[in-house]
Structures are given as structure tokens and as C-alpha cells.
Amino acid sequence: MPEKTDRRSFLNRTLLGAAGVGTAATLEEKILLAAVEEGKADGPRPKPDADPKAMPCGKIGKVSISRLFLGGNLIGGWAHSRDLLYVSRLFKAYNTEQKIFETLELAEQCGINTVLIDPVSQNVLERYRKERGGKIQTMVCMHPSTDETKMRDQIAFLVDKGATLLYTHGEVTDHHTMNGRIDVLAKALELMKKAGVPAGIGSHSLETPMACEKHGLNPDYYVKTFHMDRYWSATPKEYRQEWCWYKPQSSDRTGYHDNIWCLDADKTAAFMETVSRPWVAFKVMAAGAIHPGTAFPWAFRNGADFIVAGMFDFQIEQDVKIALSALASVRQRKRPWCA
């Protein structure tokens, strides 16, 4: 009881302090606050009315993956909340381990069969499977390194922990591309494949998959950011810089401030049309700045084979229905389905 009380007190203070007493700034904040005040955040929920068999799947290697699957940032507390200082702490306070279990369970009930996670979340997934009997698959990032032994040990550890698929961490991968070390990425792919799991390349920058294709690397799939720029906090086109995510943040309002992850969606879509490998698109909602009703149809229509979406428990059922509608409406697209 004290733990629940502390959690509710914190959430009340956080939300009301951020939005003003009695008023929430967003729909999500209203839902969070209502859940805390009414105890719904801790109580049982009704079964969703989404049919788990309705969600289409595609294959990466021999692994069947739901076209929409769960992102892990909300589990880990990485909010990408621009200049809202309280949000990461709020995520962690709301998403207790039991709430994470509920979220994963709900996702499975709605037909989502995979979650993309950082290795730090693998222990939580292990406990979820053990305590709740969950079957959800994991797509886990690894850090490519110039130290081959370190990479080999890391991959073995992640696979032993239950990773279904592996891919190279986007930021670390981009740094190797920046430094001209495509050979490191090639070795990472080789070692992942030797471990018996599908092996992918992750990135924020389009330069990374372009370099991989140019140098003849053979990933089983790409994990690449993809979102439109029609949201108010997007960096204006004339101020966007390649590799901006890894440069010191400027105090200038025109610079990068954790606010954009796909610098040129048209160029990304055009390049991926030339690539016959599965494409897992992430950040399609620009970390919550674009409504899924706009983002999902756009991403599938423009070439994504899969969408990773960070979702709270109260968003999953609606997002699944949006994804199903989006997939049903995609009659023709320039890029063939590659999974």
C-alpha cells in the first residue's frame, strides 16, 4: 500500500505541477491522472476487443513478426520529451514492473508478438515470461565494437537471455559509419548470424544503410527512423545537419534539441525503394508528436514493412485498430513488401 500511495502522490504532483491544478495539458496526461486518482493504474482491466489473429505478420528470416510491434523506450524511460524535464521521471513512475507486465500482456492479447528493447530491459522480459507466461519475442540491440571478442561475448549473452532477433544499436552504428568503419558493422553482422538469430543494422542517419548497401553488407533487415516533418517542433529544413544527434546541442532554437530523427523522409523512402530487405521503421510518430492515425498509414504507404511504436497500456488497443485499418487501406505502394 505505501508503494502505491507514494506512486500516486508522485504522479499527482508531477501532472498537476506541470499542467496546473485540475487541468491536464494533453489527453495522455488526463488519462494518467485519472488512472492514478481512480486506482485504475493498479487494478485489473477488461479484456480488449481486438482480435489477436487479425494482426498481419511478416517474416524476418524464419521469425514471424506482427506488422506493428511494441517499442521499448517507454519501458526504459527514454522519453525524447524535448524540453519537458519531468516526462522521463513520469514514465518510470507510471511504468512500474507490474504495469510493464500488464502492457506486454495487453499487447499480446491484441496480436502484437514482438517488442524492441535495449539490453537493460531483458531482465524485465525474462521475469514477464516466467511470471505471466508471456510469449512475446524480443528484438534486442547490440553495440558493434572494434573489439571482436567483446562483441562475440555480448552477442552470446543477449542470445542466452532470450533475444529472438538482434540488430546494431543506431547511435553506435552511426558513429562507426561516421568514422568509416563499415568493417566493424560487417563483423557484427557475421557474429550475430553465427549466433543463429536474424541480424539487423540500426541507424538514425540514412548514410548508414546507404554505406552498408554500397559496401555489400548483407543484413537480414534494417531498423531505420522514418517520420514526416509536419509537426511544430521539427527542425526547419534549412537548419538540419547530418549527424546532428551526435553533435553538442546548441542554445540556438534552430538547432537540434532531441526533436527530429528522420532528416529527409522523401529521400529515405526513395532509397529504401531500392533495397529488397525488410525495413523496420521506428520513431514514426516523432516520439509522440504525430498522431498514429496520421503516422501509421503514411509509414506503411511509403515503404515500411514493420512499425515500432512506443505505447502505454491505454494506447495499445486504439493503436492496433489504427494499424489494422492502415494496413487494410494500403492497396498499392511503390516499395514492394519485403517481409
Q: Which secondary structure element, helix H or strand E, spans residue 24, and what is its range?
A: none
**Average pLDDT for 272-292:** 97
The confidence score (pLDDT) of residue 5 equals 45
Q: Is 80 exceeded by the pLDDT of residue 49?
A: yes
Q: Which secondary structure element, helix H or strand E, spans residue 29, and what is its range?
A: helix 27-38
The confidence score (pLDDT) of residue 19 equals 45
Q: Is 60 exceeded by the pLDDT of residue 39?
A: no
Question: Is-contact 260 235, C-beta < 8 A?
Answer: yes
Tell me which fold the domain 52-329 belongs to: TIM Barrel (3.20.20)
Tell me the domain boundaries of the chain: 1-43, 52-329
**Average pLDDT for 158-163:** 97
**Contacts with 193 (C-beta within 8 Å, 6 or more apart), sequence order:** 199, 220
Give the model confidence (pLDDT) of 110-130 as tens digits.
999 999 999 999 999 999 999
Give the β-pairing of 306-309 and 221-225. unpaired
Between the CA of residue 197 and those of 134, 164, 192, what are the distances in Å?
A: 20, 6, 6
**Average pLDDT for 67-86:** 83
